[in-house]
Amino acid sequence: MKIILSATTSWNLFNSRMGLARALKASGNEVIFLSPHDKYSQYLIDKGFSWVHFPLKPRGKNIFQELASMLFMISFYRRVKPDLVYHFTPKGVIYGSLAAKIAGVKVIFNTITGLGYVFSEPSERVLRTLVKIFYPIALFNTIAVFQNSDDQKLFCEKRIVASDKNFLIRSSGVDMDLFKFSPQVEGKPIVLLSSRFVKEKGIRYFIEAARILKTRNINVRLALVGQPEENQPTSITLTEIEKWVSGGLVDWWGWHDNMEEIYPKAHVVCLPTYYMEGVPKVLIEAAACGRPLIATNVPGCREIVQNGYNGILVPPKNALALADAITKLSKDREMRKRMGRNSRELASINFSAEKVIADYFELYEKYRI
């Protein structure tokens, strides 16, 4: 079969879809990536895949540019004539599904990787209304895959998806051989936050928790991994980061592609997001490495963090609760070791790449044309 995997960034495809793409290609399928150009586009090509530039701005709002993007996608699908198309990220799902239907593509898959910043930001009321209108139209008569049960339940209750054409596949999977279990390292406990540097990820609450910990004289280090994002309205700025570092609140380790080497340096991995996540990849990767987790009690995070078993769930936007959780784990090495082992077990059972890919192939077989 000729299969197109499409997302609103090449980074998304490289970071989360490579395992699936390799498995599809190994099974004799022709796989084509479709995404806007960024530095990861070349990485997709270097891995031996066909990649096509999709002229789309992920957060663009210019009506003429958005229409041009849609027309490009319709033309591309008509020309290539794929047997199956697969879309990721909210904007990609809506645009891609509408374009595929107009172009006459018979099999359309969509993964709902969380509801995104549109549903997290109160200021996005108009855009949120448009998304709510177009989601049912786009998803009609397509196969919808959800990454967490909360989103699946919401879409079913709102009748946005058909009851017989939606499925739950938790996350994009993690390579358990690459993200290996490692024991807790010696030294002062390090709590790591790795994410996109946008405010919805809860980074400012992490810093506020750092201030609380400092007043308590807790023997712990906090570290950030990531980098400021250009042209993002909610991006954490370089000035903020430098101020936090110079104030002794946090270390900044920069951007890393080799996270399998970074997680073992930490004792705890934290994600205080209030973003509408699917299942945060950082949490399943850290779990695979045997790290206890601290995360907010929101959809997506609840899929991988079992409170008291492999980590601690805290209320969103609550720096005090976050500081309390960090204090608790930083003081109890045995708890960290126990939760770390449990994290590895949960990741192995529920989130391994092998399991996730097998679940996808089961769906492909069911809907093979």
Q: What is the per-residue pLDDT across 331-346, written as a single tens digit (0 to 9) for each?
A: 999 999 999 999 999 9
Q: Beta strands 293-296 and 268-271: pairing type?
A: parallel
Q: In what order do the strands lie in the sheet with 30-35?
A: 50-53, 30-35, 2-6, 84-88, 107-112, 143-146, 166-168
The confidence score (pLDDT) of residue 369 equals 47
In sequence order, the β-bridge partners of residue 143 are 109
Cα 305 from Cα 283, distance rounded (Å): 8
At residue 123, the pLDDT reads: 45
d(C-alpha 157, C-alpha 135), whole Å: 14
What backbone phi and psi angles, to 5 degrees, belong to 219? -80, 80
Report the mean per-residue pLDDT for the chain.
Answer: 91
Measured CA distances, 91 to 94, 117, 173, 278 (Å): 5, 11, 22, 15
**pLDDT value at position 229?**
85
The three-class DSSP label of residue 226 is coil
Query: Where is average pLDDT lowest: 22-36, 101-115, 240-254, 335-349?
Result: 101-115
The pLDDT of residue 128 is above 80: no
Give per-residue pLDDT as tens, 67-95: 999 999 999 999 999 999 999 988 889 99
Query: Across the chain, where does the E strand assignment appear?
Result: 2-6, 30-35, 50-53, 84-88, 107-112, 143-146, 166-168, 190-194, 221-225, 251-252, 268-271, 293-296, 311-314
Out of 3-7, 74-78, 163-167, 326-330, which region has the weakest mean confidence (pLDDT)?
163-167
Give residue 115's pLDDT band: very low, low, confident or very high (50, 70, 90): low
Residue 131 has pLDDT above 80, yes or no: no
* 174/304 Cα distance (integer angstroms): 12
Q: What is the pTM of this model?
A: 0.89
Query: What is 2-173+353-366's CATH number?
Result: 3.40.50.2000
The domain limits of the chain are: 2-173+353-366, 190-350
- For the residues 226-237, what does the mean pLDDT come to? 87
Please name the residue that has the structure tokens 């201030």: 211
User: pLDDT-derived band of residue 129, with 50, 70 and 90 as boundaries?
Assistant: low
pLDDT at position 241: 97
Picking from 7, 6, 38, the residue whose alpha carbon sits closest to that of residue 229 is 38
- How high is the pLDDT of residue 44? 96
Number of H helices, E strands in the chain: 14, 13
> 34 forms bridges with which residues in the sheet?
6, 52
For residue 130, what pLDDT band results from cuts at 50, 70 and 90? low
Neighbours of 57 (CB within 10 A): 14
Does the pLDDT at position 61 exceed 90?
no
Long-range CB contacts for residues 51-57, cutoff 8 Å, separation at least 24: 51/10, 52/76, 54/6, 56/8, 56/91, 56/95
Tokens of 100: 């595929």
Which pLDDT value is given to residue 121? Answer: 53
What is the distance between the alpha carbons of residues 76 and 317, in angstroms, rounded to a whole number? 43
Q: Does domain 190-350 have CATH number 1.10.3720.10?
A: no
pLDDT at residue 276 above 80? no
C-alpha angle 280-285-290 in degrees, rounded to nearest 5: 125
- Residue 163 is inside which H or E element, if any? none
> Residue type for 283, please?
L
Compare 275 and 22 and report the one with higher pLDDT: 22
Among 74, 96, 88, CA closest to 15:
88
- Integer Cα distance of 17 and 15 in angstroms: 6
Helix (H, G, I), strand (E, B) or coil at 299: coil
Per-residue pLDDT for 203 more than 70? Answer: yes
Query: Quick one: pLDDT at residue 122?
Result: 52
pLDDT confidence of residue 232: 79
pLDDT at 200 exceeding the cut of 90:
yes
The reply to whether 190-350 shares the fold of 2-173+353-366 is yes
In percent, the amount of the chain with pLDDT more than 90 equals 76
* SS3 of residue 285 by DSSP: helix
